[in-house]
Structure 1
Amino acid sequence: MPNLEVVAIISPKPRKQARVEQLLLEVSAHAKENEPDTLRYQVHRQIKKDTPEFVVIETYTGKAGLEKHASSDIYKRLGKAIQSEDLLVKPLQVVAMHPIGGFASRL
């Protein structure tokens, strides 16, 4: 079974970018240290925009890895903070997919 790729787009409200970034980086650090089935969890900030969106690119060994990540306490805290602190202009967008071609990197 190929790896499972996920792209999440997070659109913070004005003046909420720093808080959203902090939360995403906490989740990223947790995934790196505690989730061996999370192969990649990169947080990106859009450039050239007054209120930038964040794009998180994730790779899991499969569906079980994604489910483990989504059920982690830190991920649940992220969801609660997004709701209780009213951080986003629109709902989180998440797309899960399997790669079908191309290559990941020449780095």
Structure 2
Amino acid sequence: MAPIQLTAVVTPQPGKAQRFLDLFKVCSEYVQANEPQVYRYEIHEGIPELNGGKLQFVVLEGYENQEALDKHMKAPPVVALLKAIEKEKLTETQLIMTKPSSGVKARI
């Protein structure tokens, strides 16, 4: 099966950004230690003054296949993050699932 990439645009509710970042850090550490089939798991902070004053994050994730994504979504820190987002109303999030199409991948 083809690789799966996920992009999420995350807008934290006022006063909730640090809580979201703390939970994401725990997920990131778990991925690094336990999920070799996840080849990308990073967060980028938007620049509010260039984005209409909004604080936003862009999360970029890459999985070898659907099985890797399914396993990741069941990982304890990810489950905790998703529950906190819902229960504590931490963020508004738009998810976009993608597959490679065209363009320049990297020049690094």
Sort the TM-score into its range (normalised by shorter chain).
0.7 to 0.9
Secondary structure of the corresponding residue to residue 106 of structure 2: coil
Structure 2 unaligned segments of length 5 or more: list them: none
Structure 1 unaligned segments of length 5 or more: list them: none
In the alignment, structure 1 residue 61 sits paired with structure 2 residue 32: no
| Distance in 2 (alpha carbons) for counterparts of 1:7 and 1:32 | 18
Match of 1:76 in 2: 79
Scaled by the length of structure 2, the TM-score of the pair is 0.87
Kindly report which structure 2 residues correspond to 1:20-99, keeping only aligned pairs within 5 A, or say none: 20-49=20-49, 50-88=53-91, 90=92, 92-99=93-100
Percent sequence identity is: 31
Secondary structure of the corresponding residue to residue 5 of structure 1: strand
| Distance in 1 (alpha carbons) for counterparts of 2:41 and 2:7 | 10
| Distance in 2 (alpha carbons) for counterparts of 1:25 and 1:54 | 13
On the 8 A contact 2:48/2:56 being kept in 1, the answer is no
CA RMSD of aligned residues (A): 1.5
| Distance in 2 (alpha carbons) for counterparts of 1:28 and 1:13 | 21
On the 8 A contact 1:17/1:51 being kept in 2, the answer is no
1:106 alignment partner AA:
R
Match of 2:17 in 1: 17
| Distance in 1 (alpha carbons) for counterparts of 2:74 and 2:61 | 15
Shift of 1:51: 4.2
Runs of 4+ in 1 over 4 A off after TM superposition: none
Secondary structure of the corresponding residue to residue 56 of structure 1: strand
Which structure has greater strand proportion? 2
